[in-house]
Structure 1
Amino acid sequence: MVITMDSIDSVKTIDPTFWKSNRLASFDNWPFQSDCTCTPERMAAAGFVLIGDKDEPDLVGCFICGKQLDEWDSNDNPWSEHVKHVPSCAYVELGKQNELDCTVAELFTLLKTFVKKYLRRKLKLAIHEYKKEVSKLTGQRPHNNQKKIRKSRQISTSRSAT
């Protein structure tokens, strides 16, 4: 396989959170900006993206395993917390907090895991939508057809009895 700049650029279009710089950009409203252990830089390096809102300003999620963590203290170590909560996360197992330190093979392995997660999520959503649609359609089944079927059975049964 030949790796070109076009193939590398196409990886960027998958999801911006795959790249540390984009994860870091999500921490604009992070409550711990400096003079602490869980700075935006360290949160992004640990694989986290800020997903919280004004009600949960410190809710983060891993871009690979999806683990969500909140209630951070200023002295919490993001990498240690990630390792403690999800040691089997592919990003944690890789042990590199910057994609620039990864080999091409490591990046593609991580990308494969990322894409699998994305496709699983899309499949679950599609199944959910399918089940909703089936439920809606079966719930709207006309009862008139059932009555006609019953009447025709009664007629044929009564005729055969005579």
Structure 2
Amino acid sequence: RKDALFEPPVSTFQPTMRLANVSGINIIPGEDTFCMDCRILPCYTLDEVLSAVEQCCAQIEEEYGVEVCYEIPQKSESPATPKDSPVVKKLSSAIYRAHGIQARTIGIGGGTVGAELRREGIDCAVWSTLDECAHMPDEYCIIENIVKDAETLVEFFSE
């Protein structure tokens, strides 16, 4: 399925890390280990996705005569906050008052504290002023951006 609230609007499955499998270029590996980062739209449960993974693994095992094993080092799911929830409206208003910016509501597939709150039944919205350097070498934040976020919070809590 697609959900235009998210960028990209689909669930993503990205191979991200591969572990060393042999010690030399003239050795044929007997096994391969890789990791994937999967960002699942809230319209799916993780059980649904894992069921599809099981089917895929079984098909590969049958077709190639191999054994496929997987582990889940981290698993997290939470419902989406409705775009018209009071917290989204209040934050959008605070952003406009503090910075003259018309907020655009989007969904993100990252692991923010928002997921923890939504799992507890608390609608929440996430906002920050930042450069596009998250999870990159030399990740940083600018003090001016922190000040802008503080200004947003002042407006949010003064309403």
TM-score if structure 2 supplies the norm length?
A: 0.24
Larger Rg: 1
> Greater relative contact order: 1 or 2 (C-alpha under 8 angstroms, separation 6 or more)?
2
TM-score if structure 1 supplies the norm length?
A: 0.24
- Name whichever structure is richer in helix by fraction: 1
